[in-house]
Amino acid sequence: MEWITTDKPVPYRSAEAMMEARVAEIIAGRASEAVWLLEHPPLYTAGTSARPEDLVSPHRFAVYQTRRGGQYTYHGPGQRVAYLMLDLNRRGKDVRAYVQRLERWVIATLAEFGVTGQIRPARVGVWVERPDKPRNPDGAMHEDKIAAIGVRIRRWVTFHGISINVDPELEHFSGIVPCGIRDHGVTSLADLGRRVPMAEVDAALMRQFGLIFEAGGQKAGIQAAGSPGSGAPDSGATRRR
């Protein structure tokens, strides 16, 4: 199991190419699983269920069609993206269970910073209640989305993963209808009053990954840098663990 962290924003197509290469190597048995922590420059991505009318500002940022599940989402600086390239052949061939683990991973990570994330059956992603905001017209408490989830699987090896809003420019989400959900907003750790360095978010993600994904609650193994077939970008801003 290898952890890859890239400090500089990674162009979206470059990230896709890296995932494609690494997944091919995992399928061929020439590379270990990997979790890649990164940020992107400001951009929008359209999942396989994206509706054209949900792209409100088509000329604001680059828009990328992608084969992950879901609808439109925003990526940009201040948002921690985690791309998981995991082999479900050995972890269990159950897509629903895998997505539920992603949800639990995000919720457990947020809890380290005093934020209670929740799942809503009719809405993908992870949500937080906002008692500081006016209630909805139906009297229900307002809720904002703090993390998105989108996956793709080939021969039971995973692509894509999660994104957590740490301190992005939230106004950038106004160019789309995030995940096709019009009646709710977006938030971030910073917006909730948690000014957390990205390195602390990464450390929490690593801790909680071991508890959520590894059998028996054991922490994820750390593979040495430069493993064969890693497919990771060759950059001084990229670290492998």
Catalytic residue annotation = 179
Nearest to 146 by CA among 127, 133, 121: 127
Residue 124: DSSP 8-state? E
Q: Is 149 helix (H, G, I), strand (E, B) or coil?
A: strand
For 114: left if phi > 0, alpha if psi spans -120 to 50, otherwise beta; the answer is left
Per DSSP, which regions of the chain are E strands?
Answer: 2-6, 34-38, 43-46, 62-65, 72-75, 79-85, 118-120, 123-129, 143-154, 157-165, 185-186, 238-240
* Amino acid at residue number 63: V
Nearest to 106 by CA among 127, 88, 76, 130: 127
Inter-residue contact 1 to 222 (CB < 8 Å): yes
Rounded to the nearest angstrom, the gap between the alpha carbon of residue 45 and the centroid of all alpha carbons in its chain is: 13
Angle between helices 198-213 and 95-111 (to 10 degrees): 140
* Amino acid at residue number 196: V
Strand order in the sheet with 43-46: 62-65, 43-46, 72-75
